[in-house]
C-alpha cells in the first residue's frame, strides 16, 4: 500500500466538509436498455439508471471543446496548458462553483444542445416513458472549479410544479474521475418516506427554504439509513435519476474544471413546470432573489419533524 493510500482511509471521499464512506459501485443498466418495464422497475427500486456510452463520445468532446473555448476566452483556463485538459487557472479572480450555470452563452452552443437534446437521449426517454418526450428549455450547465461541490438535495423542490414523472439526467462533458467531484447519491433515500412527505413536498419559490436538506452527509445515513455511492464517468456516459433520490457532488479536489450538465425530461403530454420553459425561462423568481428571506434549515427541519 502506498503512503498516499495510508493517508487517506480507503473508501472515504469528501462531501461538503466531511470525509465520508462512499461506495464506488453503481449498477449499470446497459443490459436492459431495450426493456422499458425493466428500466421502470429498476429506477423505482434503485432511484437511478447508469448508462455507459449513451452518447457518441465525439459529440460530447465536440461540445467540451466549444465550452472550453468560451472558458478560455474568460481567462479561466491555466495559460500554456492544453485546452482539452481543462486545467483551472489558479489566478482566475472569481471563485467557480457548481452554481455557475444556466449561462446562455454556453447552453445555446450548438454542439452542447446536440448532446442534451440529441437523438440518443430523446430516443431513450421516448422508449422509457412510452411516448413523445420533451426536455426543459433551461439547462443546468456547471463549470465546477477546484474546491467546489454541490449541496445535498432532492431535485423535486426546485422543479416540481409539473409532472412528478420527471427525470434528471447528469451528463459529463469529458471524463470525470473521483477527484474531479462527480455526482454522488444517497442510495435508499428514495425510500425515506417521511422526508419525501415533508421536504419532498416543498417548493423553494413558494416556501423560501434553503433548498438543500442537510449540511451533513453523515447525519443523513445515521438518521435515515442508506449509503453514499458514486462512480467514475467517461465522456458519453449518463446517469438518470428520480426527483426523490438525495444527491450532492463530491468536492472537486483536482486542479481541473469539471464540466457537466443536468437536464430534465418528461412526457410531452404531461404538465410541465413553467419556470423552466420558453425562450427566457423565468427560473427561480422568488427564491434567493434580492431581499428574499430564507427560512433556516434548522427551522424547516423542525417544522417537518425530520
Ligand X SMILES: O=C(O)CCC(=O)C(=O)O
- In this complex, which beta carbon is closest to ligand X, that of residue 168 or of residue 190? 168
Least distance from ligand X to the Cβ atom of residue 125, Å? 16
Least distance from ligand X to the Cβ atom of residue 303, Å? 24
Least distance from ligand X to the Cβ atom of residue 9, Å? 24
Which CA distances in Å does 155 have to 164, 219, 260? 11, 19, 16
**Direct distance between the N- and C-terminal alpha carbons of the chain, in angstroms, rounded to an integer:** 42
Among 190, 242, 260, 300, binds ligand X (CB under 6 A): 260
Q: Tell me the C-alpha distance between 69 and 93, whole Å.
A: 18
The yes or no reply on residue 98 touching ligand X (CB under 6 A) is yes
Among 89, 96, 135, 150, binds ligand X (CB under 6 A): 150
Q: What is the DSSP letter of 302?
A: H
Q: Tell me the C-alpha distance between 167 and 189, whole Å.
A: 16
Question: What number of CA atoms fall less than 13 Å from residue 131's CA on the CB side?
Answer: 7
50 binds, among ligand X, Fe ion, none (CB under 5 to 8 A by kind): none
Among 46, 155, 207, 273, binds Fe ion (CB under 5 A): 155
Span of 17-25, 72-80, 97-105, 148-156 interacting with Fe ion by CB under 5 A: 148-156
12: which strand partners? 21
The yes or no reply on residue 183 touching ligand X (CB under 6 A) is yes
- In this complex, which beta carbon is closest to ligand X, that of residue 277 or of residue 303? 277
The yes or no reply on residue 259 touching ligand X (CB under 6 A) is no
Among 14, 134, 139, 142, binds ligand X (CB under 6 A): 142
Q: Tell me the C-alpha distance between 239 and 233, whole Å.
A: 9
The yes or no reply on residue 135 touching ligand X (CB under 6 A) is no
Measured from each CB, the residue nearest to Fe ion is: 155
Q: Tell me the C-alpha distance between 240 and 183, whole Å.
A: 11
Work out the angle at residue 262's Cα, subtended by the Cα atoms of residues 225 and 62, and round it to the nearest 5 degrees.
135
- In this complex, which beta carbon is closest to ligand X, that of residue 207 or of residue 262? 262
- For residues 298 and 213, is the Cβ–Cβ distance under 8 A? no
Span of 109-117, 142-150, 187-195, 287-295 interacting with ligand X by CB under 6 A: 142-150
183 binds, among ligand X, Fe ion, none (CB under 5 to 8 A by kind): ligand X
Q: Tell me the C-alpha distance between 160 and 204, whole Å.
A: 10
Q: Tell me the C-alpha distance between 97 and 150, whole Å.
A: 8
Footprint of Fe ion on this chain (CB under 5 A)?
Answer: 155
Amino acid at each position: 500500500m502506498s503512503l498516499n493510500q495510508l493517508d487517506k482511509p480507503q473508501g472515504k471521499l469528501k462531501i461538503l466538509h466531511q470525509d465520508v464512506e462512499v461506495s464506488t459501485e453503481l449498477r449499470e443498466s446497459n443490459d436492459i436498455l431495450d426493456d422499458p418495464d425493466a428500466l421502470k422497475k429498476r429506477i423505482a427500486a434503485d432511484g437511478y439508471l447508469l448508462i455507459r456510452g449513451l452518447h457518441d463520445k465525439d459529440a460530447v468532446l465536440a461540445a467540451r471543446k466549444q465550452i472550453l473555448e468560451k472558458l478560455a476566452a474568460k481567462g479561466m483556463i491555466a495559460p500554456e496548458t492544453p485546452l482539452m485538459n481543462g486545467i483551472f487557472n489558479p489566478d482566475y479572480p472569481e471563485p467557480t462553483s457548481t452554481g455557475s450555470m444556466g449561462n446562455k452563452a454556453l447552453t445555446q452552443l450548438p454542439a452542447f444542445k446536440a448532446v442534451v437534446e440529441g437523438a440518443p437521449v430523446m430516443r431513450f426517454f421516448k422508449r422509457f416513458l412510452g411516448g413523445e418526450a420533451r426536455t426543459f428549455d433551461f439547462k443546468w450547465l456547471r463549470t465546477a472549479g477546484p474546491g467546489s461541490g454541490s449541496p445535498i438535495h432532492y431535485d423535486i423542490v426546485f422543479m416540481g410544479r409539473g409532472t412528478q414523472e420527471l427525470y434528471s439526467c447528469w451528463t459529463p462533458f469529458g471524463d470525470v474521475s473521483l477527484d474531479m467531484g462527480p455526482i454522488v447519491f444517497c442510495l435508499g433515500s428514495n425510500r425515506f418516506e417521511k422526508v419525501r412527505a415533508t421536504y419532498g413536498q416543498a417548493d423553494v419559490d413558494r416556501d423560501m427554504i434553503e433548498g438543500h436538506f442537510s449540511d451533513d452527509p453523515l447525519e443523513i445515513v445515521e438518521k435515515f439509513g442508506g449509503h453514499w455511492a458514486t462512480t467514475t464517468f467517461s465522456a458519453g456516459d449518463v446517469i438518470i435519476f428520480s426527483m426523490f433520490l438525495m444527491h450532492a457532488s463530491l468536492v472537486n479536489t483536482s486542479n481541473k474544471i469539471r464540466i457537466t450538465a443536468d437536464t430534465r425530461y418528461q412526457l410531452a403530454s404531461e404538465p410541465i413546470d413553467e419556470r423552466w420553459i420558453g425562450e427566457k425561462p423565468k427560473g427561480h423568481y422568488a427564491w434567493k432573489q434580492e431581499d428574499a428571506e430564507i427560512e433556516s434549515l434548522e427551522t424547516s427541519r423542525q417544522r417537518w419533524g425530520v
